[in-house]
Structure 1
Amino acid sequence: MEVFKIEGGVHLKGEVIPQGAKNEALQILCAVLLTPERVTINNIPDIIDINKLIKLLGNLGVKIEKLGHGSYTFQSDEVNVGYLETEAFKKEGGSLRGSIMIVGPLLARFGKGYIPKPGGDKIGRRRLDTHFEGFINLGAKFRYNREDHFYGVEAPDGLVGADMLLDEASVTGTANIVMAAVLAKGKTTVYNAACEPYLQQLCKMLNSMGANITGVGSNLLTIEGVEKLGGCVHRILPDMIEIGSWIGLAAMTRSEITIKDVSWENLGVIPNVFRKLGITLEKRGDDIFIPEHIDGYEVKTDIDGSILTIADAPWPGFTPDLLSIVLVVATQAKGDVLIHQKMFESRLFFVDKLIDMGAKIMLCDPHRAVVIGHDFKSVLKATTMSSPDIRAGISLLIAALSAKGTSTIQNIEQIDRGYERIDERLRAIGAKIVREKQ
């Protein structure tokens, strides 16, 4: 087992380049199954979850060639659908949340798709109903083996377009349904569709392969089915969650950091949410510049003077993946913040570790926490802690970098699942962090 040892209280300085977007890559990689032709994908992040999915595709028979760092070609002309019914696949597919998104492409192209109950973060229940209800609407037959927690959908005669209203604006659910519908007969309309930039990227990639999807960027997608898709070249966006993490890190450590090539037009409300916390960030071309916050940062109240509330919501609302970062940043703000995590009932449970470090946080219930900022008058204290999930893990890492003393973070595989070579990149801007075997 590996751990991070972090000496906190060090001011950092320099430039960072965000990795490719993890959540986009999970969708884009599954889409290569829709065509027998070559697909080239650039800016793929080198992280555990993505590498697991690439390995799974290889085991399915996809021909994979690495062209360089972050660049691969995929050719799915000899897919072994029989692999889906093996014990090896049950183990491999169950270790990764994103594996659910291979079902839509396999169902569309080969008439069947199977998946074990996916793994991933332990942040609360993450239902799959939206995915399978969408497949059923397209004409697939659904079955579920309760003993093995194994899901299956079959459509030997092909899928047929349908009108559907999703019960929730699920990003992965929308992606899966779209990938199934592009090869269905006739027209499909998907209302209450997710419209995150990553979903938009998937739709743009599919259109470049020959799909016919309109309404991209809205919550109403119209898909005219086509007979086949071709190859393409696609570049993955910079990861907005990592960008938000670097903003939070800069503020908490009162460091001067420039985040390069962030794709401002795809950040939505993220910059403004950090500005509400009093953090200064400047747009310099397509970069974000965060100056040293020597005098700290002061939370802006609502117009009527009431406490600032930051809550997650489907795009274009604030992404739930950054609420953990916002919460830890608020611990050193001047002022108070109510954090309302609506989607996952276990995601705020990591705050006890921040409280152990001296943060003033009141956990109201599984979904809400009030953070009383220290205004840097009382710094956090170093401690030993364990990372419960990707986003809480990076939040604890940010807390440790700002704390007084040397902290130890265990279970860092959770951080490695979502952040590429994070210790190396932190050392490059002056952080005192080492990775040790324990």
Structure 2
Amino acid sequence: MEIINWVIDLGPSVMMPIIFLILALCFRIRLGRAFKAAMLVGIGFMGINLIITLLLESMGPAAEAMVKRFDLQLTVIDPGWPVAAAIGWGTPIVPFAVISIILVNIILLVFNITKTVNIDIFNFWIFMITGALVYSITGSISIAVVASLLHFIVVLIIGDVTAPRIQSDYNLKGISFPHGTTAVFVPFGIAINWIIERIPGLRKVEADPESITKKFGILGEPLTLGAIIGALLGILAGFNISSVLTLAVTVAAVMVLLPKMVDVLVEGLSIIREAAESFLKRKFPDREFYIAMDTALLIGHPAVLATGLLMIPSTLLLAIILPGNRLLPFTDLASLSFLFAMCAPYLKQNMVRLYITGLVIMTMVLYIGTDIATAFTEAANLANVTLPDNISDTTELANLVGGASTPLGWLLIKIASFFG
């Protein structure tokens, strides 16, 4: 556990360069070039994290202000994905789950059942939060580890299947995204797109960034969309004119800068991918391999990011009008883009289709969060996590962006509960 915690505490910005430097040297890249590639990956991750943090820190007060302004009285609070990650990494299942996930990945690679080498260790918490809730219900480490593994295997398959389409749309060769949250919603995105294609009128609406820019010129560019959406969110939050303008510029900056940081990371990845492809082709001429990455690389697309921001007030409205919902969206509101980033290629990067998909996804997430609140709260107590200052220790908890809040995580938790 001490070794695992030390590695996790490094964070992806430090952990990833170390991993990629080792990979680069294994693939016979010269030390100097290997160092450059690894550092570009690290710098890219650092830049992405800085910009996402800027977005979260800007949108957090706006989301909190909206909650207070509309006087939402719901009994289950969303403490955010950092708390969920702390739960995932803080339960007794961790050493068994981490070792099992790595071994299963190796076995599946050896037997050519998967193409993905999952080095996205930091995000293993997404599988383990499912296991943590199972553990809180059953008290069984073995059942909890099995639940985490099943979540991992299903998502790994989705990562393999979706990789070609996502690589093509995002120009990310040799990369897959077996993300324990995002990947689970891809089948729903595909199904919604299938339905939209059969609705006259709606299927003809062109709302991808290129079409919007072509129709509206500067008004359709990402920086303008960001400024408009940021200003609207500031107005909904009841901010003064100075704060509204600041939020508008901040969101516009995120829309412009995030894709550029992704480009830096991809430059480093490309060096290693090309060497890996050449090396592995010699060893395994009939095999293709993918390197697993965080979906943070995908949310920089203007359609995904803009739709994610529009989903903030929409999710609050859903929380109010959905009968039986008890979950108050809060800390994770600024992270909603992660939920449908992998759906975007299957929805033609169309913001109208993404928005409809987002509404369906958030409806599921709110009801799932309401249902698992008791187990989530117990898991938080078992992991002894520290809650944000504005959340009481006696409040029931459930977050929006995490493995347990997905239909797959919920199903595994429900099945495991029969053994509790």
Q: Normalised by the shorter chain, which TM-score bucket?
A: under 0.3
TM-score normalised by length of structure 1: 0.23
Richer in helix (by share): 2
Bigger CA radius of gyration:
1
Richer in strand (by share): 1
